[in-house]
Amino acid sequence: MDRDLVAQQVRTFVQDNFVYGQGSSLGDGDSFLEGGIIDSTGILELIAFLSRQYDISIQDEEAIPENLDSIRSVSAFVVRKRNGSANLS
């Protein structure tokens, strides 16, 4: 799975659902939580999107900032999950 494609799709989802198209300045490494872009409820929405979009199951212990707090971390996590390994590298 192509990490750049995942990053583009995640960016589109975040812009459409949380920053409403005004996220052109959202960097790939910008923290969703620290930037006030996504709150805890939004993380649940993001998890639901990722599960549907990429046909992955995200366990509670995987719902951590290291996996879900930026476009970069989400795209890397999705690629690891799709490749069969969600362990942090």
Render pLDDT for 32-48 as a digit per residue (tens, 0 to 9).
999 999 999 999 999 99
Distance of CA 4 to the CA centre of its chain: 12
Nearest to 73 by CA among 85, 60, 64, 83: 64
Is pLDDT of 81 > 80? yes
Q: In this predicted structure, what is the pLDDT of residue 10?
A: 96
Render pLDDT for 2-32 as a digit per residue (tens, 0 to 9).
999 999 999 999 999 998 756 568 899 999 9
Domains and CATH numbers, the chain: 3-22+29-82 (1.10.1200.10)
Is pLDDT of 66 > 60? yes
**Lowest-pLDDT range of 6-15, 59-68, 77-86:** 77-86
| pTM as predicted | 0.88
Cβ burial, residue 13 (10 Å; 0-12/13-18/19+): middle
